Structure 1
Amino acid sequence: MEDIFLFVKPSASRLTPFVRSDAVGAILAETLGHPDREFTLAELGRRTGVSGPVVHREVGRLVDGEVLRDRHLGRNRLVRANPEHPLFTLMRDLIAATYGPVPVLRELFAGLDGVERVMIYGSWAARRAGECGPFPRDIDVLVVGDAPRKTLTALASEAGDRLDAAVNISRLAPDDWRVDAPSPFVATIRSRPVVDVMSGDVHA
């Protein structure tokens, strides 16, 4: 069965009132979370699920505010965090606590065998999709695949330490995710917002 989701347009942040939009939060999570790395605008778009025009516009604003630095290499515009900004540490910590789960989980799951998909669901995904509600106290993650549970438990612990939040990982066999008559658990996840960890796409 094909996954059927609707893509969510960039919206005002429901994770924190201190960030202009979810697009900005996602861009800052990648850049402030990896201050030693440079990113092309296309790479930021791929990693955040944000459209090219929005990435271009918001990066321009962040560069103007000296939150990010940029330079040109050939036809590419490269951007990176500006660690000399007087509020860098405060901004980095705020973004890590709100938009940090996607880049942190992507890094931890990169190259792991037995993983077909990784999705965040539950209250964090709902806030990321624009639903109002209290700040999420934990991060619920669904792994579609057959990675060992011991490995996933260790990853949940490491992610929780890095995010300073409880990370709960559930594993589901690929056939159980694709089945036409899903279990109540799968049906609920399919009917609610999820965030694809590898692409950064928000589905609702």
Structure 2
Amino acid sequence: MRTIAPPLAPFLRSAVQGEILALLLLRPETSLTIADIVRETGGTPTVVHTEVSRLVESGVLTDTRVGRARLVRANPDYPLLRPLTEIVAATFGPVPVLGAALTGVAGIREAYVYGSWAARAAGEPGPLPRDVDVLVVGDADRAALNEAAAAAEETLRVPVSITKVAASAWGDATEPFLRTVRSRPLVRLDVATVGA
């Protein structure tokens, strides 16, 4: 089965490869099992196993066995780790980075990436986005959202703009901005919140 290069990073083999790299390179202290990676990327076990094996063989990742589990992590000694991490952050980083930055912010009911980055992630052709647009649904504190955006910008190295809307407004199909946002690609962020 032939894989299609992702529009966000056409030099990578597949979107799953990009997602695996984002999971592990952007959290270099983390070790994940193949099952963890399958769950977090949505890739099939066969594809994830194949991509991880290639990345281990090339030295980008390392693996160790603990019982029957295969733990995989970024290889801190890989000579191109820093530039590769920067590329991965710019292309596949928004979902894991923003999810982590928004986790724990009180009052978030839902969060999405929208705009050009979401369009590229959905397969629409175009240039690499120069910013990341985020929509937060709920009553989160603006200062906490600005702090999360600043933290994400440090890793992603592009501006992050967070728009907050009330849950009642998100359900209103007549508001022009939200109607436009809903009509275009959205990438849901996995955000663990408190007090939502």
> TM-score range, shorter-chain basis?
0.7 to 0.9
Q: Aligned equivalents of 2:51 and 2:87: distance in 1? A: 18
Amino acid at match of 1:147: A
Equivalent position to 1:67, from 47, 57, 60: 60
Could you list the per-position Cα deviations for residues 85-131 of structure 1 after superposition, in whole angstroms to 9, with x for gaps in the alignment?
A: 22212211111122111121111111221011111010001111111
Q: Confirm or deny: 8 A CA contact 1:12 1:130 kept in the other structure.
A: no
SS at match of 2:84: helix
Whichever residue aligns with residue 187 of structure 1, its letter is R
Match of 1:127 among 120, 127, 140: 120
Structure 2 unaligned spans of 5+? 192-196
Q: CA deviation at 1:29?
A: 0.7
Q: Which residue of 1 aligns with 2:194?
A: none
* 1:106 lines up with 2:99 in the alignment: yes
Please point out which of 178, 181, 187 is paired with 1:189. 181
Aligned length: 189
Aligned to 1:3: none
Which of the pair has the greater relative contact order for Cα pairs under 8 Å at 6+ separation? Answer: 1
Structure 1 length-normalised TM: 0.85
Q: Distance in 1 between matches of 2:182 and 2:147?
A: 26
Structure 1: stretches of 5+ with no match in the other structure: 1-9, 200-204
Aligned AA for 1:48?
T
Q: Deviations over 1:64-103 (max 9, x none)?
A: 2221111222232211011212221221111112211112
Q: Distance in 2 between matches of 1:137 and 1:30?
A: 21
Specify whether residues 173 and 52 from structure 1 end up closer, same or farther in structure 2 by C-alpha distance, changes over 3 A only.
farther
Measured in 2, the distance between the counterparts of 1:192 and 1:139 equals 15
2:176 maps to 1:175: no
- Structure 2 residue identity aligned to 1:192: R
With the length of structure 2 as denominator, give the TM-score of the two structures.
0.88
- Across the aligned residues of Structure 1 and Structure 2, the Cα RMSD in angstroms comes to 1.8
Secondary structure of the structure 2 residue equivalent to 1:111: coil
| Candidates 154, 157, 167, aligned match of 1:161 | 154
